[in-house]
Amino acid sequence: MLRLLSYAVVLAALVAGTVWLADRPGLVHVEWLQWQIETSVPVLLAALLVIAIVMVVALRLILALWRIPGRWAASWRSRRLRKGYQALSDGLAAAAAGQSSKAAKLAGKARSLLADPALTSYLSAQTAKLAGDASAARDHYKAMLERPETAALGLRGLLDQALERGDDAAAAELAARARLMAPQDPWLADLSFQLAMKDKRYLDAQSLLADAKRRKAFSPADQSQRLALVLTARAAAARELGQPGEAASLAKKAFAADPKHTAAALELAGALKEAGKLRRAASSLEAAWKALPSPSLAAAYADLKDGEDALSRLRRLEKLVSGCPDHVESHLVVGEAALEAKIWGQARKHLLLAVEQRPTQRLYRLLARLERLEYKNEDAARAWENKLPEAMPEPKPEAQLVAAD
């Protein structure tokens, strides 16, 4: 609507101007060299308008002719780049499919068309990797470092090579450089952490965790697990150096960070036991059992006292499992302890409850042993042993976050 109104205003102005000139024709006399021109003002203005239009058209034509070579060159470069990028993408697909010869051919085509080594180096590196030429692949990855857009990918390639050849020092240095470009990458943060733990650089690992927490590289649960791991490792190192107090302090922090980290609870109990604080050691194991029952916790709890009889040990283990009485490990621990104490009814009750939850070979063997000890019933014992082939596999040790070997 506004545009239409503008056109109407302009048209009205032109009409008004034309009428005004028609009412005032006037004469124009021009003498130039031997030329004399006499005409009216409207005619002169019309002639000047025609001359201006002709000059504009001529100028645009000259400019169009001038730009033809540049446009042709740009079109040629565009086609060349399009073919280069097509060769690059097809080459990457061939490399991913393991077609080394096709990938090598397309890599050469992409290099010649794009004329950008940093851009085509990744394809060349993958091709060299497929051909087993680690040195050539390394050179291509290094070339990628020259271009900011491909530097991170080049570092990743060099990092993978360092990990493959087992060069932890180089891998740690490359991972640190890569984290400067991608500080929030959880894979890089975890790799740097694992390498520091493997090299027993526990303070560096803890510092890295603090940085990862600021950048939110890990989830809160993963952050807590890793903190518990490094603090537990530091506690173990302190115990080896004969510093039970420091070990207990660090293990306590580790257990607070992740109560389900069994290794932290075991380290704390061990340090407290060495310091002669058996009651506190027992309390820590009881709290850990409540968080996550495990056979190692039961073994450590049973070993807190030496030389006690089977019945006393049973009563203590009953206290341990009271925090999580219905767990299969609780039934197993009490059932086996009752079997050792010859409390047959209690042993049978808990072993049967355990086998209902997780029928393993160990439980079947304990039930077979119970039949032989309580009733001397060899047939019943064999009946339990016949179930061994159909038993569930023994559970793996409790899952813990561990540093790479």
Write the secondary structure of 242-287 as one string of H (helix), E (strand) and C (coil). Answer: CCHHHHHHHHHHHHHHCCCCHHHHHHHHHHHHHCCCHHHHHHHHHH
Of the two residues 307 and 353, the one the predictor is more confident about is 353
pLDDT band at 402 (very low <50, low <70, confident <90, very high): very low
Q: What is the pLDDT of residue 400?
A: 46
160's tokens:
């993978």
Cα torsion 80, 81, 85, 87 to 10°: value is: 20
pLDDT band at 132 (very low <50, low <70, confident <90, very high): confident
pLDDT band at 347 (very low <50, low <70, confident <90, very high): very high
Helices (H), 308-360: 310-321, 328-340, 344-357
CA–CA distance, 329 with 198 (Å, rounded to integer): 32
* Average pLDDT of every residue of the chain: 82
pLDDT band at 311 (very low <50, low <70, confident <90, very high): very high
Task: Dump pLDDT digits (tens) for 229-281.
Answer: 999 999 999 988 988 889 999 999 999 999 999 999 999 999 899 888 999 99
Give the position of tokens 């097809």: 90
Of the two residues 328 and 154, the one the predictor is more confident about is 328
Task: Return the SS3 of 292.
Answer: coil
Domain boundaries, the chain: 219-304, 313-405
313-405 has which fold? 1.25.40
CA–CA distance, 208 with 176 (Å, rounded to integer): 10
Q: What is the pLDDT of residue 102?
A: 61
Task: Return the SS3 of 348.
Answer: helix
313-405 and 219-304 share a CATH fold: yes
Task: Look at residue 405 and tell me whether its pLDDT is greater than 50.
Answer: no
CA–CA distance, 321 with 287 (Å, rounded to integer): 10
Identify whether the C-beta of residue 130 lies closer than 8 Å to the C-beta of residue 106. no
Tell me the residue ranges of DSSP E strands in 69-116.
Answer: none
Of the two residues 169 and 106, the one the predictor is more confident about is 169
Nearest to 254 by CA among 240, 270, 274: 270
Nearest to 338 by CA among 354, 358, 360: 354
CA–CA distance, 345 with 37 (Å, rounded to integer): 135
The CATH number that domain 219-304 falls under is 1.25.40.10
pLDDT band at 74 (very low <50, low <70, confident <90, very high): low
65's tokens:
């002719």
